[in-house]
């Protein structure tokens, strides 16, 4: 399985599926603020499929950010996706 694949494979936190990094959006949460990965600290990935499923990714974001503010997180992710050009 993955040993045949030379592309880096990462896990999507929403569906737990494994994907190559080009279909994943890398994010991080710092002090409850969601943003794109800044090369520092802990990061996580969400795949392009899950980015279309608001209910699914919001739940994962709440878990990753240890936040209960679903409205902020889903809006913030939409901004990041719009800025990033993936969706
Ligand atoms: Zn996914």
The model's confidence at residue 87, banded by pLDDT at 50, 70 and 90, is very low
- Mind listing the pLDDT tens digit for each residue in 23-41? 999 999 998 899 999 999 9
39 Cα–ligand 1 center, Å: 22
Q: Is pLDDT at 1 greater than 80 in this prediction?
A: no
- The CATH H-level (homologous superfamily) assignment of domain 2-81 is YlxR-like (3.30.1230.10)
Residues with CB under 5 A from ligand 1 (ion): 12, 14-15, 47, 50
Torsion of CA 42, 59, 86, 26, to 10 degrees: 10
14 Cα–ligand 1 center, Å: 5
pTM above 0.75, yes or no: yes
13 Cα–ligand 1 center, Å: 7
- Mind listing the pLDDT tens digit for each residue in 40-59? 999 999 999 999 999 999 99
Measuring CA to CA, which residue among 25, 21, 24, 35 is closest to residue 65? Answer: 35
């Amino acid at each position: 399985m993955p040993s045949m694949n030379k592309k880096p494979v990462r896990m999507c936190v929403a569906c737990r599926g494994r994907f190559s990094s080009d279909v994943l959006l890398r994010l991080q949460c710092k002090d409850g603020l969601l943003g794109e990965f800044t090369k520092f600290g802990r990061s996580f990935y969400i795949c392009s499929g899950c980015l279309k499923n608001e209910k699914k990714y919001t739940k994962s974001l709440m878990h990753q950010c240890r936040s209960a503010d679903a409205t902020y997180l889903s809006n913030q992710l939409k901004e990041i996706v719009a800025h990033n050009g993936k969706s």
